């Protein structure tokens, strides 16, 4: 199957650039991210915030949202051609939009807000300034996150299909091959565990280092570690298309030019999740798990799996980016003909099935994995061990981190020696067995058990959160302001996380912007809502998810 360059639509000149600087990318569409595909492109802003952001086409502002995570400050513009452009991680909106948003934040007494806007309120023309670029929300540095969506379905589409002035003549790079046994009787290199092979480039293609034939038997799958790169940047980006050919015939292919947000977590089935969980290396599969419902696969023969008996095979994996630059990995397999010993199954394991609900119960642990949470069947392992004195249960090892969950499972752990006074403070924590750190999974106590919805398997125990958040003033010393236009605090919590922030000036609710990645909250004085030239009473209350609160009070002259 030949991968042809992307053919631009008739609307390729419909859009102008959202920034008036060279469009250099730090992230591409459908790039592999943690638990999701990247839904747009990330445009570099030269390491700074505050650059003008422009409407890419005529239309109207249809939505604005403000969040401490995710897109941060985000703006959505609907266009007459049936698309919506999205601008994320903004520093601020255009003045009229900014004031509209702030009015609603004060009305709702909430920093986080999501507003659908009437079409007549903020019409825009192509090239109008609508915002300034920033670093808000889950951004890891200054940039503009930009999307084009289908307005009707809200599905993001690949912006690189629409003729933006982005230069790319660099082919994707392939770094290694992973060969994975896919049945209890399959072998790779005479073992029943995955085997990775480094690759080298010569004669216009990638090959396995030293050019070995891969010894296999039974049903196996191939996966590759690959990244794309664009001109003018060293950032790792994602591929657009892949095709697997075996003995000259196409067995598997996919193309990623649009997807639905409801399907984005299937990325954990699109990659070899166990390898990612252990090494942080993302290998893209060339086979499909039975529980993978991603509709991106354009060709699928035998789910992309190779079933080897006594024949050698020539394998070719071709990858391409959105501009048709492609790379090819070529290698051979050979059958293992000698007799091999099968691994002895753990007699304590329990088969879990992807197409039904799964239950596992012990005296101290109850686990319910709902139908649709698994991508494939697997052999579940359970163990319990003593936990240290920080916990109020034994450590419950519900399998391990190598098996992903598409939707949450429900875990109940029996509490042990938990005082009545601490029952309302109980949570389940996910314990890292390598370093002993614990992360709250939330939960509540009832009838001797602590129940929580968990998004990954692993080691869990009952802990309590009795420590209130810590609040440190950054711009108030005693009763004196040390900054002229704002009040800032650093806020942190040791376990369950920040639930709410309430600031009051002279008894009235006051807006604080929340930046959790830097543990900062900030209030900016404005003439519309603040009376200058007097002494003010100030009160700040920060509460965590177990209702532990810290209150900071002072007065200041402003």
pLDDT tier at 292, thresholds 50, 70, 90: very high
Residue with tokens 């199957």: 1
CATH of 173-335, one of 2.70.50, 3.30.70, 1.10.3470, 1.10.287: 2.70.50
Q: What CATH topology corresponds to 41-157?
A: Glucose Permease (Domain IIA) (2.70.70)
Instruction: Give pLDDT tens digits for 270-280.
Output: 999 999 999 99
Please determine, for residue 67, whether its predicted confidence score (pLDDT) is greater than 60. Answer: yes
* Average pLDDT of span 238-247: 96
Same fold, 41-157 and 350-464: no
What is the pLDDT, as a whole number, of residue 378?
95
What is the pLDDT, as a whole number, of residue 59?
98
pLDDT tier at 4, thresholds 50, 70, 90: very low
Domain edges within the chain? 41-157, 173-335, 350-464, 470-557
CA-based torsion, 287, 179, 6, 34: positive or negative:
positive
CB-based burial of residue 337 (10 Å sphere; 0-12 exposed, 13-18 middle, 19+ buried)?
exposed
| Side-chain-side CA neighbours of residue 1 (13 Å) | 22
Q: Which two tokens stand for residue 509?
A: 């609710």
Give the separation between CA 243 and CA 237, rounded to whole angstroms. Answer: 18
Q: State the average pLDDT for the chain.
A: 95
Percent of the chain with pLDDT over 90: 92
In sequence order, what E strands does 232-371 have? 241-246, 249-255, 284-285, 297-300, 306-308, 313-320, 326-335, 350-352, 358-361, 365-369
What is the pLDDT, as a whole number, of residue 459?
97
* Average pLDDT of span 146-151: 98
Q: Which two tokens stand for residue 123?
A: 């019409």
Q: Which two tokens stand for residue 485?
A: 């236009």
- Tell me the helices (H) and strands (E) count for the chain, helix number first: 3, 48
Domain 350-464 has CATH 3.20.20.140: no
Percent of the chain with pLDDT over 70: 98
What is the pLDDT, as a whole number, of residue 356?
97
CA-based torsion, 234, 237, 241, 246: positive or negative:
positive
Please determine, for residue 1, whether its predicted confidence score (pLDDT) is greater than 90. Answer: no
- Whether the CB-CB separation of 60 and 118 falls below 8 Å is answered with no
Q: Global pTM? A: 0.94
Q: Which two tokens stand for residue 461?
A: 């125990």
* Average pLDDT of span 205-211: 97
* Average pLDDT of span 235-260: 96
What is the pLDDT, as a whole number, of residue 12?
54
Please determine, for residue 6, whether its predicted confidence score (pLDDT) is greater than 70. Answer: no
Instruction: Give pLDDT tens digits for 315-343.
Output: 999 999 999 999 999 999 999 988 888 87
Q: What CATH topology corresponds to 470-557?
A: Immunoglobulin-like (2.60.40)
**DSSP-derived 3-state class of residue 339:** coil
Q: What is 23-83 written as a DSSP string?
A: --EEE-TT-EETTEE--SEEEE-TT-S--EEE-SSSEEEEEEEE-SSTTSEEEEEE-TTSE
What is the pLDDT, as a whole number, of residue 5?
39
Give the separation between CA 327 and CA 34, rounded to whole angstroms. Answer: 25
Q: Which two tokens stand for residue 181?
A: 């046994």
Most confident segment among 125-139, 289-303, 347-361: 125-139
């Amino acid at each position: 199957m030949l991968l042809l360059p992307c053919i631009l639509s008739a609307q390729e000149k419909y859009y102008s650039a959202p920034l008036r600087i060279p469009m250099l990318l730090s992230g591409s569409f459908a790039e592999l991210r943690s638990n999701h595909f990247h839904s747009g492109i990330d445009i570099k802003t030269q390491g700074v915030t505050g650059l003008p952001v422009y409407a890419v086409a005529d239309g109207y502002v249809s939505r604005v949202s403000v969040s401490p995570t995710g897109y941060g400050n985000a703006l959505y513009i609907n266009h007459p051609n049936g698309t919506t452009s999205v601008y994320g991680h903004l520093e601020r909106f255009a003045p009229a939009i900014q004031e509209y948003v702030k009015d609603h934040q004060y009305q709702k007494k909430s920093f986080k807000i999501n507003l659908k806007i009437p079409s007549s309120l903020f019409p825009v023309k192509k090239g109008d300034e609508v915002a300034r670029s920033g670093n808000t929300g889950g951004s890891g540095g200054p940039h503009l996150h930009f999307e084009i969506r289908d307005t009707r379905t809200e599905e993001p589409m690949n912006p690189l299909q629409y003729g933006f002035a982005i230069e790319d003549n660099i082919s994707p790079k392939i770094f290694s091959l992973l060969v994975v046994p896919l049945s209890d009787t399959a072998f790779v290199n005479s073992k029943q565990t995955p085997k990775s092979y480094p690759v080298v480039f010569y004669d216009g293609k990638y090959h396995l280092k030293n050019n070995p034939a891969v010894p296999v038997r039974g049903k196996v799958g191939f996966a590759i570690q690959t990244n794309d790169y664009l001109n003018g940047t060293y950032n790792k980006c994602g591929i657009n298309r892949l095709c697997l050919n075996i003995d000259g015939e196409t067995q598997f292919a996919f193309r990623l030019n649009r997807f639905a947000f409801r399907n984005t977590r299937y990325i954990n089935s699109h990659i070899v999740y166990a390898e990612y969980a252990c090494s942080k290396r993302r290998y893209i599969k060339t086979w499909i798990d039975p529980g993978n419902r991603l509709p991106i696969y354009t060709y699928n023969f035998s789910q992309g799996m190779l079933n080897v008996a006594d024949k050698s095979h020539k394998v070719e994996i071709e990858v391409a980016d959105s501009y048709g630059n492609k790379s090819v990995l070529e290698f051979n397999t050979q059958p293992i003909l000698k007799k091999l010993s099968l691994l002895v199954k753990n007699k304590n394991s329990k088969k879990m099935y992807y197409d039904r609900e799964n239950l596992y119960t012990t005296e101290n642990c109850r686990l319910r994995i709902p139908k649709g949470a698994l991508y494939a069947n697997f052999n579940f392992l359970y163990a319990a061990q003593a936990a240290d004195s920080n916990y109020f249960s034994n450590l419950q090892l519900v399998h391990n981190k190598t098996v992903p969950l598409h939707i949450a499972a429900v875990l109940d752990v029996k509490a042990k020696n938990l005082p009545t006074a601490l029952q309302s403070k109980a949570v389940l924590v996910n314990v890292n067995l390598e370093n002993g750190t614990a992360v709250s999974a939330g939960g509540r106590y009832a009838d001797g058990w602590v129940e929580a919805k968990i998004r990954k398997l692993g080691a869990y125990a009952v802990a309590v959160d009795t420590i209130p958040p810590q609040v440190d003033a950054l711009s108030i010393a005693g009763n004196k302001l040390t900054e002229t236009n704002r009040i800032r605090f650093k806020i942190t919590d040791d376990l369950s996380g920040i639930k709410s922030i309430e600031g009051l000036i002279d008894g009235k609710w006051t807006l604080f912007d929340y930046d959790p990645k830097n543990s900062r909250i900030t209030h900016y004085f404005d003439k519309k809502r603040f009376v200058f030239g007097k002494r003010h009473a100030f009160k700040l209350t920060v509460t965590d998810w177990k209702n532990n609160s810290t209150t900071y009070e002072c007065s200041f002259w402003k």
